[in-house]
A and B are shown apart, each in its own frame.
Chain A
């Protein structure tokens, strides 16, 4: 009995610690200039960050805690908490997760494989360039984990067709898998539909009355950066994991045969692509009127009506816990704005920066990007933006540049396995080691920050 209790305590230590910290803070006085509601909102944020990083309890549990504590701590009324929980951004996250399931289930990966090989030929560096470019391009529209799920079979087939002996493919395997994962992560900044965090930032701009950015308007800011990053990422990955095989001749040939066996493109494949194209057109031309989330839900509706996906498959493969978590994170982000906690935190950071230098324009940018980049490697990137977004937008400077820089920095999830689903998906293949993430990740991280800095200077003349 006692042994079981000790085991439970060791497993739940971070949960107990978060409650202890929350309880101690609750009984302390709120800092000067911060409302009692704002202070209590920050207590919830601190507890949630501990719980999300260390996962001592299921993540949907953290989401529920963030919601009921808002009411129990007297921050807001139950109905207002419920309203702040559901928004178009959450609809979008829900819709895009379901769209991903619908698209991936159609088995378009074999078509993709053929396309890549036709495009790249059999030289390894060309294949890596192809993987990074295609992953980046596709994920900019349909989300990074969708693309990774589709590209993984193609990448693994090439690796295993080269050799099943891991010693022979010890560099080739991480090279190809990181091309997919990092390509997808980089691409997710390209359009608002590339990731839930982009939509959350758009929602904050709108909610706080700072800007109204359209789908194409977003691409104007982000796509040049994406195009700049692609060749740099290929160079970094190539020199980090120099492969033994410079040509993948027989592997490519075998892949072509495998894909050919899967038969020609079916009508169902065509309809899948057409529906997604319609969704894309909706995002481009209608999203400013009816919202990205509603359009994503319409796409899912079409897939269901056309019988391309069954509800049971959608239900089984959609991560409802993540949707709950993002809804709760957006809700707490809005409370941070409403209660003045975001402004107070932003002012505190600014005051601290002024001690270092009078001219804080660059420092402010560096702090927001580094904080976002670090947190995104520990938390989920959407949760990072939900929490950091309101603070950054209150730190002064051009809210569009600050917002874009923060949203884009949240894609720099290169350093850890848990940084994003894409990193976890390639890790689950068993072909990359945890240390590989740091090996390539720090170079990608620094390169991305430098490119983002250059872009932020260019954005000032937009």
Chain B
């Protein structure tokens, strides 16, 4: 499997990297860390590139490389990677252009085999979408953004599953909330949930919500299937069949000490665009990390 971790800055991206690497190791996935720098206006793009070429001659790195350098250091320091540093590694931070606005970054003294580093510039939604589709990533991990529309757009337009690392505190004990319903994405969400629970060594709350309090056979089938899998994988769990508005109930049950895992909405994209969906609404309102499985 392939995981893509998007980092913004040193100040905010620590939890995103930490969660991303924990989950990636549970999936035995290869990891790429990406930094998307600001969009350069077309009026200025040549002049900016030209200036950056001059800066390289003065041994300055391109903007954004320092964030990737910090991310690499963070991963090494926290022993998520054991960097292969060799004498004949890259003599200085090196950018290799691969396509428009996209460079592969190789840090000084490393071989680039531990974790891939990508630097892009432009509109964050378009760039991440392009990276996910060209790199065929399975999961994209992003931090909780202050810009509410950004998470919405990423969930809507990215082809991969998305893990929004919202207000994660690694010193706090978390549980896992897996939302179960009769949609076809649920079974994949449960499988992902099992891996995440193993990664964090936490208990699982299987939550199924009905507005009326009566649960159709499809709901029962989905719950039974999830329970069977959890038993087989020896993951401790509790099942909750609850009545009420699904968004309110999930939000209330999750509180701020759960990691939520749920399948993506199966609604028509046009309806999702105008009216939103349960995962989108939960991402907007829940103060905890959420994995939306596609």
A-to-B contact residues, CB < 8 Å: 2-3, 6-7, 10-11, 55, 58-59, 97, 100-101, 104, 107, 109, 145, 148-150, 152-153, 156-157, 160, 258, 317-319, 321-322, 380, 417-418, 420-421, 424-425, 427-430
Q: A104 with B43: in contact, given A3-B157, A429-B63 (CB under 8 Å)?
A: no
For B25-47 the 0/1 string (1 means CB < 8 A from A) is 00000000000011011111111
Residues of A within 8 A of B52 (CB): 428
In contact, B47 and A421 (Cβ under 8 angstroms): yes
In contact, A7 and B157 (Cβ under 8 angstroms): yes
In contact, B269 and A153 (Cβ under 8 angstroms): no
* A–B complex contacts, Cβ < 8 Å, 20 sampled: A2-B270, A3-B156, A55-B41, A59-B42, A59-B43, A109-B54, A109-B58, A145-B44, A152-B51, A156-B60, A258-B58, A319-B43, A321-B42, A322-B43, A418-B41, A420-B44, A421-B44, A425-B48, A428-B48, A428-B51
B residues 85-130 touching A (CB-CB < 8 Å): 123, 126, 129
Cβ of B55 within 8 Å of any chain A Cβ, yes or no, is yes
Residues of A within 8 A of B37 (CB): 428, 430
Interface size classification for chain B? 20 to 34
In contact, B156 and A318 (Cβ under 8 angstroms): no
Q: A424 with B156: in contact, given A6-B273, A149-B51, A430-B64 (CB under 8 Å)?
A: no
Cβ of B77 within 8 Å of any chain A Cβ, yes or no, is no
B-to-A contact residues, CB < 8 Å: 37-38, 40-55, 57-58, 60, 63-64, 66, 123, 126, 129, 153, 156-157, 268-270, 273
In contact, B269 and A319 (Cβ under 8 angstroms): no
In contact, A425 and B44 (Cβ under 8 angstroms): yes
In contact, A11 and B51 (Cβ under 8 angstroms): no
Shortest beta-carbon distance from A192 to chain B in Å: 20
Q: A97-B46, A319-B46 are in contact. List 13 more A-B contacts (CB 8 A).
A: A3-B269, A6-B156, A6-B269, A11-B126, A109-B58, A153-B60, A318-B46, A418-B44, A420-B44, A421-B47, A421-B48, A424-B48, A428-B48
Give Cα distance in the complex from A322 to B46, angstroms: 10
Give Cα distance in the complex from A417 to B37, angstroms: 14
In contact, B45 and A319 (Cβ under 8 angstroms): yes
Shortest beta-carbon distance from A113 to chain B in Å: 9
In contact, B44 and A424 (Cβ under 8 angstroms): yes
Shortest beta-carbon distance from B194 to chain A in Å: 28
Residues of A within 8 A of B157 (CB): 3, 7
Give Cα distance in the complex from A104 to B53, angstroms: 10
